[in-house]
Structure 1
Amino acid sequence: MITFIGSILFLIVGYVIYSKVVELIFGIDDNQETPAYSKQDGLDFVPMKWWKGSLIQLLNIAGTGPIFGAILGALYGPVAFIWIVVGCIFAGAVHDYFSGMMSLRHGGAQFPTLVGKYLGKYAKFLITIVSICLMILVAAAFTAAPAQLVSSITPLSFTACLLIVFVYLLLSAILPVDKIIGKLYPFFGAILIFMAVSIGIGMFFFETPIPNLTLSNLHPGDMPIWPLLMVTISCGAISGFHSTQSPIIARTLKKESEGRKVFYGAMVVEGVIALIWAAAGMTFFGNTGGLQEALAVGGPGGVVNEISISTLGTFGGILAILGIIVLPITTGDTALRSSRMMLADLITQITKKEFNKKGTVALLIIPVALPVLFLSMIDYNFLWRYVGWTNQVVATVMLWTGAMYLVKNYKFHWICSIPALFMTAVVCSYVFYAPEGFNMDYGISMILGSILWVVVAIWFVSRLIKQKKVKDNEVPVTRAS
């Protein structure tokens, strides 16, 4: 119990103190016109109130991520609390802040554009492909999952439910941001928070107390903590998907000082939600073994439903079902919207011309909508396996992009480069060990991952040396007497 309460307090203190440190290092200027005004188009660039943008950002980045991922991560025991707190404050929230504020500073640019500017054209080409693939996988997974649930509780077939969900995703991705998203999503975001707070309070009345911190691995399947925990719990700690969502809200901010509340703040709230559901998973079923048995029967959705009904009664069950249906849909549609915006940026850069966005939105959505519809018809679990590693690769690249932004502007880059080095170690070792990767022996995977990490570290040091030479060669500007 003490560990759980302390973790919540750490997240709050982290926001109050470290978010201001990050903001100070980045450097904000409220006198600078934001893209919401300079590029206002009634579609994507639309000024909105910060609190509304914050709730939309929370829903965009969260969905069922901090619920399902945290429950699966709870199998490792209280060590998951450490990853959520440290990852959220020093990696995830920094990642979200820089992805949003750098987009704002560069005219509402999408994530691949930022990568190209600070990591080079080859990195941009690669990350554009990876990012769009991630958007397609996320949209497909979050179309199939709610469609399956709706078909199981209604007379409608899975195909009919799939088409209904898919049509909604298309409309939400095409219409102006202040229509469906701006009007409905703050309400859905409030539901997400209400569910978490209600479960958080209810946990104090569970028969089994919330376990305190232990560094032991309590996973019943004896799965290694490193690097699996850091990929299992992404939303709530750090998730690359967020860097594709932050530009949506960056195009709506009225001033730069709102970025800390919207981007860093939403991530901390997501961290709190993840802590609550991780604790609920560890506690409700008695131990991690009981949780694993529950997951084997009903999956994460069944676990959420059982905890919610037992804690909050019929009303809780309704909220759980609503959440499991609505939350993934609200993530899927913004994934489609992000991919559409990425294609728009790419076409603009290739043609060197601005085009009538309202007249071409429907056409831009087709190249990503068709594979989403196709993939949504295959096994959901198969899709989700590939989302995890791709997601954390994107997060790692965004942190390196933020680090190089700070390096080139002669600012304190370690707030981005240290978590970037950490996440590089995670994804390098994971790709060799994971079943969806090379599925190699654990020891060999760690060795190969370490070698790859050293290569990346050497690259970064070389960039630091190169930038120092540039600074040393700059001609100082002298003031006239």
Structure 2
Amino acid sequence: MLWFFFCVAILVFGYFTYGKFIEKIFVINPNRTTPAYSDQDGVDYMPMSKTKIWLIQLLNIAGTGPIFGPILGALYGPVAMLWIVIGCIFAGAVHDYFCGMLSIRNGGATMPYLAGKFLGKPVKVFINVMALILLLLVGVVFVASPAQLLSTITFDVLGSSSSAINLGNPEEIHRVVETAKDLTVWGMDKATVISVWTLIIFAYYIFATLLPIDKIIGRVYPLFGALLLFMSVGMVYGLVSSHLSAADPIEFFRTVNADGAGLTWEKFTQNFQVKGDVPIWPLLFLTISCGALSGFHATQTPLMARCAENEKEGRFIFYGAMIAEGVIALVWCMVGLAFYENPQALQDAISAGSPSKVVYDSSLHFLGFIGGIFAVLGVVVLPITSGDTAFRAARLQIAEIFKLEQHSLTKRLIIAVPLFALGFVVSKLDFSVLWRYFTWANQMTAMVMLWTAAGYLYRYNKFHWVASIPAWFMSSVCFTYLAYNKIGFGLDYELSCYIGLGLTVFCVILFFAFLKPLGDGDPEALVTE
């Protein structure tokens, strides 16, 4: 348990130290007018308080990634927590900060525009396509996962209420729901209930995408934030109380050391070994994305960059929200490490019902039926609050490509209607296939954003290594994954590692060969109005 709190403390320490260091490298200008004022339109550009923006930013970026990813990552053992901490401080938060601040400096521009400006037009074309694919996949994936969880809650609350079941025993409730295949709610089977929730979530996404950002997102997100807080604090309470239980204390590292002797260095290093067809390199760094580093954040951060009132708020909003997401990821990684007796039991649960089963079962176990339902609702709001802004960001990116103003509802509908129609068609594909493509597209987008930040820093003779080194690392991860994984070329593992390294070196050579320094300091930083 102390390992968990130590990791949380390192994340907080990183915000106040490395986050401040990153801010000094960027060099903020508190007197510069932000797009929230210079381009205010009452729809997407409008000033908001930094606290509200931070909450919206956190809910936007934290989908099922910082929950499902760490649960899956727990199969590798405690080393997963190491990647969350290091990745979050030195890669993820750096990625989000530069994306947000560069967007502010460039009139609230999207990430593809920034990539084109600092890396060249070919990169802009590539990332425009990649980002739109990612946003569509995110929107669809973040419809399916909350719909499944909400349907399970619906059956537990309504489908079992007429049966003689002890409502104080969550295990009994869930057993009845799992075994009663013919159970219905208002005459609907489970597949139909999932479809109904899917339509409801899609309807919410349509309204949230079309209406001004303060009409729905700005008003309901505080409620969603309260559920998120309850979920996070509640699960930590459940983990701690279960660990301290005299009757049946939970052991946090029994997944790697079943004899109860605690975590040793030998046991820890065993997690670095290749495990069949799921080697830790590079799969861990794609499995755990949103809790450590996620390209999806680059599509969401400009939304809040258009609402920031002052550049000095950037570290709190962008770097700070990523640190908070890292804490959420640590919570669910600990659930994966502790809730089941061994890795095989965790794998069986995931195979039986995806990570959503782990979420549901552990929430009810730690917090009881009522508390567990609220905790699950706290999980549900994360993909919903990311899915709505994913479609919103896709609309704005398409508008930027085709130069369509978005002040009028008609112009917004021209983009939104075909976008949602395509999303509905894609939602019919197998969820596991969608998730695999989502993880790769997600980290490829993060890789490009890190290269963009490095390009900006290098061109203006700033300390570019803070972005360059993470960019090199993620390039190797993404290229190796593409060469090795079945959704890519399916090559031999050792050969794939060499290919990943070789392509990364090639990118580094191109970076230094074609990018030329433009001067000392960003001239846009001096602009005041």
TM class by smaller structure = over 0.9
8 Å Cα contact 2:108/2:302 also seen in 1: yes
Distance in 2 of aligned mates of 1:429 and 1:35: 39
Aligned match of 2:85: 85
Q: 2:325 aligns with which of 270, 278, 283?
A: 270
Aligned match of 2:478: 427
Aligned match of 1:12: 12
In structure 2, relative to structure 1, the CA distance for the partners of 1:449 and 1:42 (3 Å cut) is: same
In structure 2, relative to structure 1, the CA distance for the partners of 1:146 and 1:355 (3 Å cut) is: closer
8 Å Cα contact 2:228/2:379 also seen in 1: no
Aligned match of 2:507: 456
Cα distance, 1:141 vs structure 2: 1.3
Superposition RMSD in Å: 1.9
Distance in 2 of aligned mates of 1:210 and 1:283: 4
In structure 2, relative to structure 1, the CA distance for the partners of 1:415 and 1:190 (3 Å cut) is: farther
Taking structure 2 as the reference length, the TM-score comes to 0.84
Cα distance, 1:98 vs structure 2: 0.7
Q: 1:181 aligns with which of 188, 193, 217?
A: 217
8 Å Cα contact 1:115/1:123 also seen in 2: yes
In structure 2, relative to structure 1, the CA distance for the partners of 1:159 and 1:199 (3 Å cut) is: closer
Aligned match of 2:306: 251
8 Å Cα contact 2:25/2:463 also seen in 1: yes
Q: Within 5 A, what are the aligned runs for 1:82-231?
A: 82-151=82-151, 153=155, 154-155=185-186, 157=192, 158-204=194-240, 205-206=242-243, 207-211=249-253, 212=263, 214-217=268-271, 223-231=278-286
> Could you report, residue by residue, the CA deviation over 1:263-287 in whole angstroms, capped at 9, with x for unpaired residues?
0000000001101110111011123
8 Å Cα contact 1:55/1:190 also seen in 2: no
Distance in 1 of aligned mates of 2:237 and 2:389: 31
**Matched residue of 2:311: which SS?**
coil
8 Å Cα contact 1:220/1:289 also seen in 2: no
Distance in 2 of aligned mates of 1:68 and 1:203: 18
Aligned match of 2:168: none
Distance in 2 of aligned mates of 1:366 and 1:358: 12
Aligned residues: 465
Q: 1:332 aligns with which of 387, 392, 413?
A: 387
8 Å Cα contact 1:75/1:292 also seen in 2: yes
8 Å Cα contact 1:141/1:380 also seen in 2: yes
Aligned match of 1:477: none
Q: Which residue identity does 2:252 align to in structure 1?
A: I
Aligned match of 2:181: none
Q: Which residue identity does 1:461 align to in structure 2?
A: F
Aligned match of 2:398: 343
Q: Which residue identity does 2:56 align to in structure 1?
A: I
Distance in 2 of aligned mates of 1:276 and 1:159: 30
Distance in 2 of aligned mates of 1:231 and 1:335: 20
Cα distance, 1:357 vs structure 2: 4.6
8 Å Cα contact 2:92/2:294 also seen in 1: yes
Distance in 2 of aligned mates of 1:98 and 1:236: 18
In structure 2, relative to structure 1, the CA distance for the partners of 1:160 and 1:306 (3 Å cut) is: closer
Q: 1:390 aligns with which of 438, 441, 449?
A: 441
Distance in 1 of aligned mates of 2:320 and 2:197: 35
8 Å Cα contact 1:144/1:377 also seen in 2: no
Aligned match of 1:478: none
Q: Which residue identity does 1:435 align to in structure 2?
A: K
Q: Which residue identity does 2:500 align to in structure 1?
A: G
Taking structure 1 as the reference length, the TM-score comes to 0.92
Aligned match of 2:173: none
Unaligned runs of 5+ in 1: 473-481
8 Å Cα contact 1:79/1:216 also seen in 2: no
8 Å Cα contact 1:138/1:387 also seen in 2: yes
Aligned match of 2:162: none
Q: Greater helix share, 1 or 2?
A: 1
Distance in 1 of aligned mates of 2:123 and 2:505: 18
Cα distance, 1:216 vs structure 2: 1.9
Stretch moving more, 143-152 or 9-18 = 143-152
**Matched residue of 2:491: which SS?**
coil
Q: Which residue identity does 2:291 align to in structure 1?
A: G
In structure 2, relative to structure 1, the CA distance for the partners of 1:195 and 1:150 (3 Å cut) is: closer
8 Å Cα contact 1:4/1:210 also seen in 2: no
